[in-house]
Structure 1
């Protein structure tokens, strides 16, 4: 059935539950997983050019730290479950494109992801990314609540 499952994660509660369900499925199917975190590139409007590089550097460093934390948690869970796991983060202003591109690049045959991400406007944006993946994916997508 499924042999390589993509697990996009943003660290939210719903995303974490999707990872857990994806790992459980991978274990039952003797499949491997690929954990992915998409970081949105820094975007700012500023009239002070000195502020932008420092802010961008700070944003990037903090985003990478969070990505490594989220992906480390997935790798730890996968190791405890005995599921082979690779992982990485990418910068992309279109998370859907990044998810679909990584799925193709790594020859995944299923995507398991949360129905929505963080709260507020971020939840709306990430939820719309899940919708975009559902509409555009040539692969089956399992959406978890």
Structure 2
């Protein structure tokens, strides 16, 4: 059914679960997987205390190292299952756009990603990349939610 799955990761345990699910589906369908992580531009909001004093070069180097770590996790999950996998460290200000652009460029037929379940006012205020992908995607999207 599916031949090429795109799985987005943010390094969280839930996105690792999404990668496990994507790889399992790929194995069942003799499909390939592409993992994607969004390398953020320097002007974006700092998200951790250790980033406050970074120069632009230090920030980008740190985020690229993070990307490699998270994408290596996806590659290892795929390798363990015997599933062909490549990865992309995309850049830009809007992760959902990078996810959709990569899916189109790579001819993916399913996007798999986690949703951390931020609903209500918090979900409205911080936004949800998963929600944006769901809203703008012309492809099926499999959303992995946290356990209840």
Smaller-chain TM-score bracket:
0.7 to 0.9
**1:28 maps onto 2:28 in alignment:** yes
CA shift for structure 1 position 139: 0.1
Which segments of 5 or more consecutive residues in structure 2 lack a partner in the other structure?
46-53
Q: 1:50 corresponds to which residue?
A: none
Partner secondary structure for residue 41 of structure 1: coil
The CA RMSD over aligned residues, in Å, is 2.5
Q: Distance in 1 between matches of 2:55 and 2:138?
A: 38
Cα distance, 1:142–1:56 mapped onto 2, change above 3 Å: same
Q: Distance in 2 between matches of 1:75 and 1:18?
A: 13
Q: Distance in 1 between matches of 2:116 and 2:134?
A: 12
Q: 2:92 corresponds to which residue?
A: 92
Cα distance, 1:20–1:44 mapped onto 2, change above 3 Å: closer
Q: Is the 8 A contact 1:15 1:116 kept in 2?
A: no
TM superposition score normalised by structure 2: 0.84
Q: Distance in 2 between matches of 1:34 and 1:143?
A: 16
CA shift for structure 1 position 44: 6.7
Partner secondary structure for residue 55 of structure 2: helix
Q: What count of residue pairs does the alignment treat as equivalent? A: 135
Aligned counterparts, 1:1-145, within 5 A: 1-43=1-43, 55-116=55-116, 125=126, 128-145=128-145
Give a deviation string over 1:40-70, Cα, whole Å, max 9, x none. Answer: 211179xxxxxxxx61111100000010001
Give a deviation string over 1:86-139, Cα, whole Å, max 9, x none. Answer: 10101110001000000000000000000139xxx8xx74x6110000011000
Q: Distance in 2 between matches of 1:116 and 1:67?
A: 19
Q: Post-superposition, which runs of at least 4 consecutive aligned residues in structure 1 deviate over 4 A?
A: none
